[in-house]
Amino acid sequence: MTLQLGQIAPDFEADTTQGRIRFHEWLGDSWGVIFSHPKDYTPVCTTELGYTAKLKPEFDRRGVKVIGLSVDTLDRHEGWNADIEETQGTAVNFPMISDPDKTVANLYGMIHPEADASVTVRTVFVIDPNKKIRLMLIYPPSAGRNFDEVLRVIDSLQTTDKHKVATPVNWKPGDRTIVLASMSDEEAKKQFPQGFTAEKPYLRWVDTLEWT
């Protein structure tokens, strides 16, 4: 199945380390991040899961629920979690989906046969409260993901949704933003009473410090 931005994230039922869930029901009105791991007891995944567990307060602060997925079984997840806590200093504090029959992995296109037909590649999906897919990242099994970047993109998505702006390269909260190209100057003056700076007719900057 090929998923695209703006589509509704597929719903599913699955067993997790925190009980059986129906995905859309579990998400509720929250943002969500679902990310896959090739299999349990792998070194790169061990570091990723430990780091994401440490970031959970940051996800919580943004109203984001995190859930992982591996094609292994629940008993292996539990044993692996002990290793993660021992080596990374933090136990996994969010659900991990058990997907031994690859139902969810195939639903989300996480199996890339040309890379490895037996395991999932490192995918990340960010899903908004309307259950729409807003971000998709695909990494090779050998490369660990940057979860600080996942948080940064969520900050961008939440800011652009709320304030009708776009964010420039390497943007982070507190940086200036860009007036949407689709917005006329007259509309921009109403939207941004604090004013904006037009560097070019198509490149108009808004100071957003008061939003942070």
**Which CATH number belongs to the domain containing residue 100 in this structure?**
3.40.30.10
Give the residue from 29, 109, 30, 25 showing the smallest Cα distance to 69: 109
- Same domain (yes/no): 134, 75: yes
Q: How confident is the model at residue 110 (pLDDT cuts 50, 70, 90)?
A: confident
Which residues are designated catalytic? 45
- Residue 118: predicted pLDDT: 53
- Same domain (yes/no): 130, 196: no
* Triad 171, 7, 62: Cα angle to 5°: 40
Return the CATH number at 173. 3.30.1020.10
User: Is there a domain that residue 7 lies in?
Assistant: no
Q: Whose structure tokens read 């061990």?
A: 46
Neighbouring CB atoms inside 10 A of 188's CB total 18
* pLDDT tens digits along 28-58: 999 999 999 877 888 999 999 999 999 999 9
Cβ atoms of 205 and 197 within 8 Å: the answer is yes
* pLDDT tens digits along 46-93: 999 999 999 999 999 999 999 999 988 888 888 899 999 999 999 999
Neighbouring CB atoms inside 10 A of 181's CB total 10
How crowded is the C-beta side of 44, counted as CA atoms within 13 Å?
14
- Same domain (yes/no): 130, 178: no
Number of separate domains in the chain:
2
Cβ burial, residue 25 (10 Å; 0-12/13-18/19+): exposed
* pLDDT tens digits along 127-184: 999 999 999 999 888 889 999 999 999 999 999 999 999 999 999 999 999 999 999 9
User: Is there a domain that residue 157 lies in?
Assistant: no
Question: In the structure encoding, which two tokens stand for residue 18, read together?
Answer: 């925190």
User: Is there a domain that residue 32 lies in?
Assistant: yes
Range of the domain at 94: 13-145
* pLDDT tens digits along 7-30: 999 999 999 999 999 999 999 999
DSSP code, position 10: P
